[in-house]
Chains A and B, each alone.
Chain A
Amino acid sequence: MRPAHPKEAAQKPTNFIEPARPQPSMSSREEPLSIPERDFILEALGQNLRLDGRQFDEYRPLNISFGEEYGHVKLQLGKTSIIVRISAEITKPFEDRPFDGSFNINMELSNMGSPAWENGRSNDLEPYVLEALDRIIRHSNALDTESLCILKGVSCWAIRADIHVIDFDGNITDAACIGVMAGLQHFRRPDSVVKDGRVIVYGLEQRVPCFNDSKQVIVDATRKEEQAAEGDLVIGINSAGDVCYISKHAGAPIDAMLIVTKTNLAWEKVKVLNAIVDKALQADLSKRADFGMADESRAANDRLIQPE
């Protein structure tokens, strides 16, 4: 066989393997990082440094405050900032589940959070975050939908959480999850006439994503760190310490042992985050007590149930 023409060989490389391309970041259509910037972040991480001087397992400062209405949460995680509003409405339950109310999480990314997001159009980030929130909060029955039933098959409460991302700097899954859980604990739906049917809000569930940069694993990545990341791992843990969600969405492979050690780290983080949310709720309660609204604000389950 005659040797391949050099030009031909150049056109059809036989054993040419594409270099492993970094996983495109979840923040879709954001301006991509420049190669030097990306290398800078990764090299700094190699020397155990993060851009903002945090430790690998350190969160950005978390700030939670509540609005005047119940279930109105303003949450800031570093420069990421979201507003969560919980609302309730009476509807007819689904025919196949006459005992269940409904709980929905809604998030629309708008031009406000990031100029890269187009108004009225969804992008990759939206379903990804919603799926995680759905699995962690909705499917784990953090909110007992049966308690939302008012009259079997006739009426039930539909609870709705609206997440407004007003400033995006990475890690909205965490911010949204903490925000929705804090909102649910803060929210008091109007009492229905039927004796029982109170919103039961179980313990807090939170997730801690770990971003895996080949060797380094960091929590609470900023937007730039997310863009430089090769993969991510999401761990959801409830307040009892049970792992209720693990997602390895895409990107670089991850060592099984790493998941075990990171789960321990996540549990530590969940405890810290829970404490912050509790503190914020307490602060809000004492603020409301000044207006003589403490009774109204107390957890729904403690409400006066009049025996008949």
Chain B
Amino acid sequence: MVSPILSQLNRPDGSAAYKCPATGYNILGAVNGPVELPARRDALKPEEATVEVFVKPGTTTAGVAERYVEGILRSVLGKVVLGREKGFPRRGVIITLAIAGGENMDRGDSYLTILPSLLHAALLSMISASVPLSMTFSAALFGVTKTGDIVRDPSPTAAKASVSLHVFAISSKGHLLLNESEGRFDFDTWELVHQRALSVCQGTASADGDVTMGEGAASASLHGLIREAVEDQIYSDYAYKLDSI
């Protein structure tokens, strides 16, 4: 699995490049925060930070689809950021996500296929920017085919052919943070996909015998990947302490 690259950019406070191994989307995220926002927005949240998300498509100008996905991202990330920490109230955390590579999406294509990558890139860039977070999370995309099979991370073409699409974000504690579904499905299907999402994100064997890959369990689950990135970041952040021991 390609590990994400943190803090490769010089100007933003934090940045991360995340490449989704399955769909091939390459997302570049940058976070600036806390920053001063123009006075007019102060009235919005007197005691909390304002999280702003901006999605920049690779080969088109941002439009309705981007505004829509920004709304989803803002609601998830806004809950994760500890916006009441000292120095954060009445300030902004600005997250910019550029789709730097991967298949071009046509107008009207479902944005759910790219949503997990965007979530991961946003989380990792916030970690890189040392924005206080209440938890980490991981997200996964599932498609349900006509025969009822659940496919993890379907490619854009496979996603188009599937009956329903589901995106789940699972927190580090195993709680459901985000549930976005599209298409026709019933509760039983949703429950199955939810179970699958839990196993993919947390790396436990699922009910249908799908065992995590290999011995290195840490990198096998999505959450292990995020954890490794956090560990590396903390290691480099506290390098001065390690050296002085």
Question: What residue in chain A is nearest B9 (Cβ atoms)?
Answer: A167
Q: Is the pair A108, B11 in contact by a Cβ cutoff of 8 Å?
A: no
A interface list, Cβ under 8 A from B: 67-69, 72, 79, 81, 83, 85, 87, 106, 108, 110-115, 119-120, 160, 162, 164, 166-169
B interface list, Cβ under 8 A from A: 9-13, 15, 24, 26, 28, 30, 32, 35, 52, 54, 56, 58-62, 94, 96, 98, 100-101, 104
Question: What residue in chain B is nearest A167 (Cβ atoms)?
Answer: B9
Q: Count CB-based A-B contacts (< 8 Å).
A: 75
Q: Is the pair B52, A69 in contact by a Cβ cutoff of 8 Å?
A: no
A114 surroundings in chain B (CB, below 8 A): 11
C-alpha spacing A110/B28, complex, angstroms:
12
C-alpha spacing A172/B24, complex, angstroms:
28
B28 surroundings in chain A (CB, below 8 A): 83, 112, 164, 166
- B58, B96, B101, B104: which contacts A112 (Cβ < 8 A)? B96
Q: Is the pair B9, A72 in contact by a Cβ cutoff of 8 Å?
A: no
Question: What residue in chain A is nearest B38 (Cβ atoms)?
Answer: A118
Q: Is the pair A112, B15 in contact by a Cβ cutoff of 8 Å?
A: yes
B60 surroundings in chain A (CB, below 8 A): 87, 160, 162
Q: Is the pair B104, A113 in contact by a Cβ cutoff of 8 Å?
A: no
C-alpha spacing A113/B96, complex, angstroms:
10
B24 surroundings in chain A (CB, below 8 A): 68
A106 surroundings in chain B (CB, below 8 A): 61
Q: Is the pair A112, B59 in contact by a Cβ cutoff of 8 Å?
A: no
B59 surroundings in chain A (CB, below 8 A): 85, 87, 160, 162
Q: Is the pair B9, A68 in contact by a Cβ cutoff of 8 Å?
A: no
A108 and B10 contact, Cβ closer than 8 Å, known pairs A67-B101, A87-B104, A164-B98: no
A69 surroundings in chain B (CB, below 8 A): 101
Q: Which of B11, B30, B100, B101 has the most CB of A within 10 A?
A: B11
Q: Is the pair B98, A111 in contact by a Cβ cutoff of 8 Å?
A: no
Question: What residue in chain A is nearest B56 (Cβ atoms)?
Answer: A110
- B10, B94, B101: which contacts A111 (Cβ < 8 A)? B94
Min CB distance A52 to B, Å, is 14
A68 surroundings in chain B (CB, below 8 A): 24, 101
Q: Is the pair A119, B100 in contact by a Cβ cutoff of 8 Å?
A: no
- B9, B26, B61: which contacts A108 (Cβ < 8 A)? B61
B13 surroundings in chain A (CB, below 8 A): 115
- A72, A110, A169: which contacts B10 (Cβ < 8 A)? A169
Question: What residue in chain B is nearest A83 (Cβ atoms)?
Answer: B100
Would you list the 6 A-B pairs with minimal beta carbon distance, nearest first? A87-B59, A112-B30, A119-B54, A112-B96, A111-B96, A115-B32
Q: Is the pair A83, B11 in contact by a Cβ cutoff of 8 Å?
A: no
Q: Is the pair B54, A85 in contact by a Cβ cutoff of 8 Å?
A: no
C-alpha spacing A113/B9, complex, angstroms:
9
A112 and B12 contact, Cβ closer than 8 Å, known pairs A72-B101, A164-B98: yes
Question: What residue in chain B is nearest A79 (Cβ atoms)?
Answer: B10
Min CB distance A71 to B, Å, is 9
Q: Is the pair B35, A108 in contact by a Cβ cutoff of 8 Å?
A: no
C-alpha spacing A85/B54, complex, angstroms:
19
B9 surroundings in chain A (CB, below 8 A): 81, 112, 166-167
Question: What residue in chain A is nearest B26 (Cβ atoms)?
Answer: A67
Q: Is the pair A110, B96 in contact by a Cβ cutoff of 8 Å?
A: yes
A-B contact sample (4 more), CB < 8 A, given A83-B100, A111-B96, A164-B58:
A108-B61, A112-B11, A112-B30, A167-B9
B26 surroundings in chain A (CB, below 8 A): 67
Q: Which of A72, A79, A111, A112 has the most CB of B within 10 A?
A: A112
Q: Is the pair B56, A108 in contact by a Cβ cutoff of 8 Å?
A: yes
Q: Is the pair B10, A167 in contact by a Cβ cutoff of 8 Å?
A: yes
A112 surroundings in chain B (CB, below 8 A): 9, 11-12, 15, 28, 30, 56, 96, 98
Q: Is the pair A167, B11 in contact by a Cβ cutoff of 8 Å?
A: yes
| 9 residue pairs A–B, Cβ–Cβ below 8 Å | A67-B101, A87-B60, A112-B15, A115-B12, A115-B13, A120-B54, A164-B100, A166-B9, A166-B28
Min CB distance A86 to B, Å, is 8
Min CB distance B30 to A, Å, is 4
C-alpha spacing A54/B232, complex, angstroms:
35
A119 and B98 contact, Cβ closer than 8 Å, known pairs A111-B12, A112-B12, A169-B11: no
Question: What residue in chain A is nearest B100 (Cβ atoms)?
Answer: A83
- B15, B61, B96, B101: which contacts A119 (Cβ < 8 A)? B96
A79 surroundings in chain B (CB, below 8 A): 10
Q: Which of A79, A87, A167 has the most CB of B within 10 A?
A: A167
B32 surroundings in chain A (CB, below 8 A): 111, 115
C-alpha spacing A79/B9, complex, angstroms:
9
